[in-house]
Every structure is written in C-alpha cells, then in structure tokens.
Structure 1
Amino acid sequence: MRVFGCRTFVLTPKEKRSKRDPKAREGLFMGYEEVSKAYRVYDIEADQVVISRDITFDGSTLGFSPTLPQEIVDDTALDIESMNISDEPHPMQFKQTGKRKSRSNSQEQVLQRTLPERRGTGLEEASTSDEFESHQAKRRSSARANLDEERKGSDEDNEDATPQVFWRASANAVEGTDLSELTTFKDAVDGPDQVHWCEAICAELDSMKLRGVLRATKLPAGQYTIGTKWVFNIKRKADGSIEKYKARLVAKGFKQKYGIDYTETFLPVVKYVTLRMVVAITKYFDWKLDLLDVVTALLCGEMKEKVFCAIPEGVEVDEDFDCFELVKAIYGLKQASRVWNETFYEFVCSIGFQVSDFDPCLYLKITSGECVLLLVYVDDVLVTGSSTELIMRTKSDLKARFEMTDSGKCAFVLGIEMVNNNNGSVTMCQRRYVEDVLKRFGMSDCKAVTSPTDISS
C-alpha cells in the first residue's frame, strides 16, 4: 500500500512533450483508481487530479515540495538606448539604422539591440510507456536522479530561457490573434511593420503612466524584483483584416512566490453555453447586442501585495531608483486577471447589477420592468437588454469608469464570428481560425468536404 499524500512523479507521455520539457510532473498521491489498474494523483502544476499508471513514488516526502523544478528566464537586458519617461505622458520616438528606409522626424531616436543567447532547458527525451512498464524499478532511481540534477541546474544557472508558450499565455486572452505574431522586441522594431509596433509600445507605456501603474523606487532591504518582457499581438477582425497592433509589457510572473507576492489567482471566464444562450435571447427578442473592449484592462486593478519589478528594457529612471513598485497589476502577474475581475465586479455591483447564479461572468440589472445583461470575458464586455435607453446608460457608466472602445454591434467576439441569416437565426463560426490553420499547415488548396468524418469507414 502506498502512503496517502506522498510525493509522486507522473510520467509525461513522449508525444505530449518536447525534448526540452521535463519527463515528469510532480504531484501528490490521492489513491487508487476504482475501474482500472492506475493511480489517482493531484497534479500540483495543473491543479487537478489525474489518473495514470506511469508513476514514480517518493514515500519519504509528504505534501508539497519546497523545491519544485522551475524554469528560469534569461534576465540579460537588451542593449538598447534608453527611452525616457518624463513626468508627463509623451510619445516615444524610434529611428531605423543601417540600410532601412528613412522614416519621419518623429522617429529619430536610435535603438541598438542585441538579443540574449537562448539555451534550452529540461530533461533528455524519455523512453516510451512500454519501456516504463518493463523497467519501472530502474526508472524510479533514474527519475529521481534526473529531477535532482534539474533542480541543481536551475539553482546554478538562472539564465535559461523560458518556453515561448509562457509569453503567449501571458498576453492573457487577446482573442483573434495572428498565428505568425512576433516573439521578440528586435523582431518588432526591425520588421516591416516597425512603425505600427513602435506606436503600440509608446501607447502601452503612456497608458501605464497615465494610470499610475508603476512607481519608481529604491528596492527595500530583503525584497527582490521580478523581470519583464514585451509581448506583441495582432488583433484582427472577422474578415482577417488587421484591427490593431498591441504591445504588452508582461511580468515574469513565474518568479512570484506564493504567500508573498500573491495568494488567490482564480479568474472566472464566461461559459460558452452562456454566450450561446445570450446570443439566442437577443435574436429571439430582437435585442441589441453591443461589444465593448476595455483598454489595457489588467492595468485597472489595484495591487494588494507589495511587488517590485526590474526596470523594463528601454526605460530610464533617476539614478536614485533601481526598480519599480507595481501600484496596479500588469499582464503576466499571477493575480493580475483576478485583481481586474474584482475591480470590475465591485463597480458593476455599485451601479445596480447582480451576478447570475448560473455564471459568475453574467451580470443582470432589472429596472422598471426593463432588463440589461452584461457578459464579461476578461476585457471583452457584451451588453444587451430590452431597453435601448438602459443599454446606452449602462455603456455610459462603464466608459466613465474604464477606458473602453465601443465596437457597436457585435460581429466578432472571442474568436467567434456572428453571421446573421435571412431566416432570423445567427450562425456562430470560427471561419478565420480554420483558414489560418489550413494556411499554417499548407492545406489552403485542399479539397473541402461537408463533414470531417471519414465516409469510407
């Protein structure tokens, strides 16, 4: 019998990881599966119970390990000429160097950049599940040795590169983004769309300054800083045309410590069944359905914890300061989305809305026999109701509290296109996403079929 709550390592199947990914994930033994010869393990990283046969047990350790393997990001700063931030918001200026075409006078500041060398992390490629079954005793000692070696390497070398998937996730639900979006600061300012990206960077920094997100300070004794990174996204419309370029200054939240830098991180997101229900209601009663987008939504949430970040690339501060204190949350922080959701919740409740028992992202308000509904997905807000006047009043209240862009009638949200049919119905589809996937895999010219099912089977 295994010890309940003992430390375990769950083998990650070879087809579900790359050569640089760890071979196993740490967990806690929860018991035996009733319908198969397998174990139930609480996956610490995924925060869920998984069922697996490929388990290595460490009966000498109970509960959470204080030394979980971590991936450390290269903190080497890009060698670029500093971009000053004065006391007043101002546009930032860029200038191209080398053989590139000259730009306007508004882009006369030279950027000299060098990218840090990326080095791979993770364990060597693991054996297959069959080998695990036949050599389980041998693999137990091997897995412990490899994981110990991985921890040692993480402690000794803090400049290993973090997988790009971390930075993509840190952009925090920017819907409808391009499959070929940029991954580095150098790509953005040296690429063909450099003017647009420079404008996006300036807009992000000005927005943060206007909202009072960062405060220059001296790092207190005993405190530490977390790094930052630029993340770039292209937001597109339903027809695939570019809606806007978005640059985000993202925190390296994986360096935050639980109980010190954050506590709760959970953020509810709208259920797709709720989205379909609201769309169906609007079509049935012929209600308006408008879309609002909160500009830099996560920058609106007030921080409760004391968190300090290193000076971002290209930002210059007075020599008396060596870091920034995060007065408000920024993208990439573990609690950023939750802080924003709490801020939005407090405001809409103050203007008479109540949270639905069915979905925490659905808000309702009933006044004089008329109703208005709010559907929230991070920074996208759908507004509908039985009264046009009540809808307009609600939108006005929201815009007075948060900076928002009003897209009017909702035609594209959460990567889903709304197509109105002649018979009064609406079709929700992901046509552009499908087209992007076909293009990505070189199948744009393949023969179309009405069903993905193999008709010969």
Structure 2
Amino acid sequence: MFWVEALKTVTHLINRLPSQVLHMESPYFRLFAKQPSYDHLRIFGCVCVVHLPPHERHKLSAQSIRCAFLGYNMCQKGFVCYDPTLHHTRISRNAIFFENQHFFPVSSSTVVLPSFEQQFSDLHSVNSHFQPGIVYTRRSRPQSLSVAHPISDPTMLQMQSVAAPSVRRSSRVSVPPNRYGFPSSSSGNSISALTAALSKFDIPTCYSHAAKHDCWRQAMQEEIAALEANHTWDIEPCPPTIVPLGCKWVYSVKVRSDGSLDRYKARLVALGNNQEYGVNYEETFAPVAKMTTVRTILALAASSDWPLHQMNVKNAFLHGDLKECIYMKPPPGLFPSPTSHVCKLRRSLYGLKQAPRAWFDKFRTTLLQFSFRQSKYDTSLFLWKSDMGIVVLLVYVDDIVITGSDSALLGQLKTHLSESFHMKDLGSLTYFLGLEVHHSPSGISLNQHKYASDLVATAGLQGATSVDTPMELNVKFRKEEGDLLANPSLYRKLVGSLVYLTITRPDISFAVQQVSQFLQTPRHLHLAAVRRIIRYVQGNSTRLAAYSDADWAGCADTRRSITGWCVFLGDALISWKSKKQDRVSKSSTESEYRAMSLACSEIIWLRGLLAELDFF
C-alpha cells in the first residue's frame, strides 16, 4: 500500500550511509561537505502520535492523533505520517514515536532475504580506507531489536566495508533518444519499472522527477505532439531586444466520477505572470456557462425527452489564434541540448492571459459558421433552429453539452465539431463539472456524492455524528465573537467547497451564505458552524432513520397494542410494518418500548445488509 513511501525512505537512508564507491563517504557528505545527522531517523511503519495544528482542534477535542510513520519529506522539514481517519498523509515536526509498536499487523515469523545475509557477514572485514575517527551513532531505544548478528554496543553502529562485486560489461544495446529529447528507459531496468509502477498516483512537481517515469513521459510526448500538430509555434532565433517568456510542465491525473484513474495529464504552461499589459496582451475576459443555465437545459431535456450528449475539446486553448507577437523559451525536453532558439507562438497556450478569450473567440466563430446563434442572455449558450427541430449547445471552457429534438441533427453537429477541432465524444451526459447526472424513466437527477464525500474527508468528519439541520435555530454570528483561528486556510477551503456544493444542495444555501461572511477573519465559532453544515451534508443523503409508534390497548377484543414502524434510507422509504403486539402491555410506555424493540431489530439487520454492500 505504501511502496512509494518505502522507496523514498530507502533513498533517504542510502544517501546518508557510507558507500564503497565513494571511498566510504556518504552521498550527503559529497554534496554538502558535512556529515549527515542520524538523530531524526525512525523505524518505518511504527506508531507515532502527531500533534494537531490549532485550526484542527479545540479545547475539548483530542490534541493529537495516532498515525503511522512513513518517512521524511524532501521539500520541508517534518515527518511524513499516515492519518487513518483522513486517509492521507500529514507532514509534522511535532510527533512522538513508539518504535516498538507496528501500526499495521506484521507476521510473527522473521524472513531474511538471502541476498542480504552475505552482506551482513561481509561486515566483519574492515576497509583500511575507512577512518576510525568517524563513527555513526544513533540514540538508544527503549525496545530491544533482534538482528542477524549481535553488536557489542547497541548504541553504536560502526559502518564497515562490503566486498566489492565483480565488474561485468553490459551486453544491452543502447537505445538512441527519441526526437523529443525525453530520457528513454529499458524494459530490463527493474528499478525504473518499479518506480513507475509505484508512483502511479504520485504527481510530480518538476520535469526532472516526471521524466523518470514512463507514464509521465508518455503524457509529455502526447502534449508536445499535439502542440506541433497544431502548429502552435515556430522555432526561430530570439530577437536581441526580446525577453522570451518562460514555461513549465504541470502534471495531474484525471479521475472518473467513481474516483478511479482515467489518464495522466501533462500540460505545458507559459509563465503568463511575466506578461505586460499593452505589450503582449490586452483583453482577457472569456465567458463560461452559468449553473442556472445548465440546470435549465437539463430540465428542458428531461421534460421534452431529448437526448443529452457530452463532448470534450482536447487541448482547447491551443486552438485559439494569437494576435500579439509572443516569444517563449523552449519547453524542457523539446531539444536534447540547450539552444539559443526560441518558440514564436502562433496559437494560444495554457498560462497566457489571453488564452481563454482566444479559445472562446475561435469556438464562437466556428459555431456561427455552422449557422448557430449566440444567446444574448448567456453568451456560452448557442442555438440552432429550423423546421427540422432545435439544437442546443452549452460550452464551459472545453466541456460541451449538446441536446436537441432531433438525434440526426446532433450527429451532424458532432461530425462538424470533430472536423474543426480535436474532439473526444464522451457519449451520454453522466459527469459534468463535478456534477453526477443520472438518467431514469422518471427524469434526470443531479448530485455531487463524490464531491461531498471528499469534502467530509477534508474536514476530517468521516465518523462524526450527523445532524438534522445545517444551522442551529435562531443563531446569529458576529465578526468579533470568539477566538481567532490561527490558520484560516482550512476554513476558507471548506467554505469555498460548500459554495460549489450549493449547485445541487439549495437546502444549505442560507447556512453557507452566513459562514461565507467571515472569510477574512474567521473564528472558532464560525469553524464550528462550517463543520455542522458538513455533518448535515454527510448524514442527509445516506442517513438510515427509523420511526416507531404504538397505541395502547388498541384492540377492543384482546386489549393488545398495535405496533407501527418505518425505516428511511435518505429520503427513500425502504421498510415498514404494522402489527399487533403478542402480549398485553401494562402501560403506554411498555407498548412504546415494544414497538421500538421491533424497529431496532430491523435497523440492526439493515445496517448489516448495508455494511455487506460497502454502504456503511
């Protein structure tokens, strides 16, 4: 499960251990000219207790959380710890370690790899080049460790030499670099293959990291190929008076509505933050569809029984034509060696300030050539009307929704768009801008289940008790009431997510409006209100609720009471019963308890059923 973290930890340790190749010096010493510290080293996978930051706790809550130690962060000081409640890693400098306790269960049997036994036995031979004055020590631990060879002093570990392996010449045929200059890898290189497989969801932050993995190299090659096929630039010498813009690679993964991996994405982005207004850009505004328009179109399609189709424009911003003269440095990986030539951009590129506007102008012009009419109420809506029927097209950047009264007309429109742009036909509309679209004989429903579950995980409220209302009754918030949050970033992130959730949840609109007033100086009282809204969202959609009642001595002949109960899953009634009780109750309280007992039995059975379905 954590092979990527294990591989990074191994690399961290190897870089700090003496190497015979470096004459018993560590790579860390060669790079920084000083001996590394070993005081921070801990046992991988042990139990650790991480101190929670102030914005994640209050006076009456837990001040720390039990985690698993997964290694060391390469970008900032701190330990990488796995939080089982949020299912993601935390980086913390305030942690207490229990190295004699494994966070995950381990096998009782000890397995020793044969390839390492010889290396341990070879440690008895001391290399004459090793300086006896340099001793690598680590602090003693309270627990006892069983090792293959006992060491006389458990608090001191003296590094000794390993017998040098025999050198052999490789018979592998070298592969020349491809035309894009990306490093090639051999199928026989097991380490590279392992790294690529383990880093499937490890999103790189720089080109040097991404170029080591096949999946990201392929994504970059596809991006470069698309740019060249689109004739995005011309390679020219840089004019002496021009300072070209920089560029960088941005990496991400595209996931489906169920959270599974769809594909790897590598995007070449120009550093538009260095552009100057009036020199290499002017107008930048580009419209997007309003969510009210999206819901209106879906409602019309449902009531008129129109088909709904979805398309996506690949590399949408690359289709826009530039009016300005812009020079850009070559992207990393385009040329195998440095060059003085630059890219003169002919088409827009992601990162340019005018790129969204250039793309929308290109798309609008193309649709107008198809005899479409742009709506004057929502400029992202395009209409085509004739005696044959009506076609409606809605665009949100590069995502397109198409519907209409005639399926043949929709097919013709898809063909025209595919001839003009590099399109991807996604078929029937199922997932659009984070909205899950469900079709049924009764109509179309929208929800944001995945988005809401991710929001609950971000807030750390997976196991929290749900509430019936998003706000307490008659509560009034004030700007200066309560203590200020030390770090308001979490509050702002949660409120922003809740604002987007109101697209399909009008029941939380008022509560979200109330808490969004305090984004500048949020306080603990406001954060508690945000958490209550999330607890309401968490329990409202999948809450299992039961109601029971009973009369007392309702049967005139036997004087036995009548039990009635019903069970709801969310808003759906899934179980109910009305039954005469088998005994005479002595009081109304007793009859009510008998009714509740039957309802609780049904609840217990349903919880087991839903747990088996991975619903609870």
Q: TM bucket by the smaller chain? A: 0.5 to 0.7
Whether 1:404 and 2:494 are equivalent positions in the alignment is: no
Q: Secondary structure at the match of 1:358?
A: coil
Per the alignment, in what secondary structure is the counterpart of residue 356 of structure 2?
Answer: helix
Contact kept in structure 1, 2:385 and 2:391, CA below 8 Å: yes
Contact kept, 8 Å, 1:251 with 1:330, in 2: the verdict is yes
2:371 aligned to which of 348, 352, 361: 352
Q: Deviations over 1:89-112 (max 9, x none)?
A: x79554389x962449xx9xxxxx
Alpha-carbon distance, 1:187 to partner: 4.7
What residue in structure 1 maps to residue 266 of structure 2?
247
- CA deviation vs aligned residue, 1:74-125 (integer Å, no higher than 9, x gap): xxxxxxxxx9774xxx79554389x962449xx9xxxxxxxxxxxxxxxxxx
Contact 1:216 / 1:317 at 8 angstroms: preserved in 2?
Answer: no
Q: What is the aligned partner in structure 1 of residue 456 from structure 2?
A: 438
**Counterpart contact for 2:312–2:399, Cα < 8 Å:** yes
**Counterpart of 2:254 in structure 1: which amino acid?**
K
Q: Deviations for 1:273-308, whole angstroms, at most 9, x for unmatched residues?
A: 000000101101111111100000111111111001
Report how far residue 454 of structure 1 moved.
3.6
Measure, in 1, the Cα distance between the counterparts of 2:214 and 2:464.
36
Corresponding residue of 1:185: 207
2:373·2:382 contact (CA, 8 Å) conserved in 1?
A: yes
**2:454 partner amino acid:** D
Q: Give the conservation status (yes or no) of the 8 Å contact 1:362–1:373.
A: yes
- From 203, 228, 238, the equivalent of 2:247 is 228
Structure 1 distance, partners of 2:472, 2:234, is: 59
2:191 maps to amino acid = K
Distance verdict in 2 for CA 1:393–1:449, change over 3 Å: farther
Residue from 170, 174, 191 that aligns with 1:101? 191
Q: 2:447 aligns with which of 419, 429, 432?
A: 429
CA distance in structure 2 between the aligned counterparts of 1:296 and 1:84, rounded to whole angstroms: 26
For the residues of structure 1 that align with 2:403 and 2:207, how far apart are their CA atoms?
39
Match of 1:366 in 2: 385
* Cα distance per residue 1:410-433 (max 9 Å; x no partner): 1001111112356x2322222212
How do 1:20-169 residues align onto structure 2 when only pairs under 5 Å count? 86=179, 94-95=184-185, 101-103=191-193
Match of 2:358 among 339, 357, 364: 339
User: Secondary structure at 1:326's aligned position in 2?
Assistant: strand
Number of paired residues?
A: 296
The structural deviation recorded for 1:199 is 1.5
TM-aligned CA deviation for residue 260 of structure 1: 1.1
Shift of 1:393: 0.2
Counterpart of 1:308 in structure 2 is: 327
Q: Which has the higher contact order (CA 8 A, sep 6+)?
A: 1
% identical equivalent positions? 30
Offset, 1:318 = 8.3
Give the Cα–Cα distance (whole angstroms) in 1 for the partners of residues 192 and 277 of structure 2.
Answer: 49
Residue 226 of structure 1 aligns to a residue whose secondary structure is coil
Sort the Cα spacing of 1:360 and 1:456 in 2 relative to 1 into closer, same or farther, 3 A. closer
Distance 1:319 1:244, change over 3 A: closer
Letter in 1 for 2:394: L
Name which of 344, 348, 351 aligns with 1:325. Answer: 344
1:389 aligns with 2:408: yes
> 1:310 and 1:221 mapped to 2: Cα distance?
14
Contact 2:248 2:331 in 1 (8 A): yes
What does 1:169-318 correspond to in 2, within 5 Å?
A: 182-189=204-211, 194-316=213-335
Question: Matches of 2:267 and 2:281 in 1, distance apart?
Answer: 21
The one-letter code of the counterpart of 2:244 is T
* CA shift for structure 1 position 250: 0.4
Q: What is the TM-score when the length of structure 2 is the normalising length?
A: 0.45
Aligned to 1:158: none
- Return the letter of the residue paired with 1:101: I
Q: Based on CA coordinates, which of the two structures has the bigger radius of gyration?
A: 2
- CA 1:319–1:456: 2 relative to 1, 3 Å: closer
Assess, with a 3 A threshold, how the Cα gap between structure 1 residues 240 and 454 changes in structure 2: closer, same or farther: farther
Q: Does the 8 A contact of 2:181 with 2:334 survive in 1?
A: no
8 A Cα contact 1:268 1:361, kept in partner: yes
Shifted more, 431-440 versus 181-190: the winner is 181-190
Q: CA deviation at 1:334?
A: 0.2
Look up the match of 2:91. none
With the length of structure 1 as denominator, give the TM-score of the two structures: 0.60
What letter matches 2:349 in structure 1? I
**Shift of residue 243, structure 1, vs aligned partner:** 1.7
Letter in 1 for 2:331: P
Tell me, in whole angstroms, the C-alpha distance in 2 between the residues paired with 1:286 and 1:345.
27
Conserved? CA contact 1:418–1:428, under 8 Å: yes
**Secondary structure of residue in 2 paired with 1:254:** helix
> Could you tell me which residue of structure 1 aligns to residue 163 of structure 2?
none
Root-mean-square deviation over aligned CA pairs: 3.0
Task: Quickly say closer, same or farther: Cα 1:344–1:277, change in 2 above 3 A.
Answer: same
Tell me: CA distance 1:456–1:183, structure 2 relative to 1, closer, same or farther (3 Å): farther
Which residue of the partner structure matches residue 613 of structure 2? none
Give the conservation status (yes or no) of the 8 Å contact 1:201–1:248.
yes
Structure 1 residue 437: Cα displacement: 2.4
Shift of 1:446: 2.8
Structure 2 counterpart of 1:376 = 395
The 1:181/1:276 distance shift into structure 2, 3 A limit, reads farther
Change (3 A) 1:183 1:102: closer
For 2:327 and 2:257, locate their aligned partners in 1 and report how far apart those are by CA, in whole Å: 39
**CA distance in 2 between partners of 1:453 and 1:92 (Å):** 55
SS of residue paired to 1:316: coil
Contact 1:293–1:405 at 8 Å: present in 2 too? Answer: yes
- Change in Cα spacing, 1:250 to 1:406, as seen in structure 2 (3 Å) is same
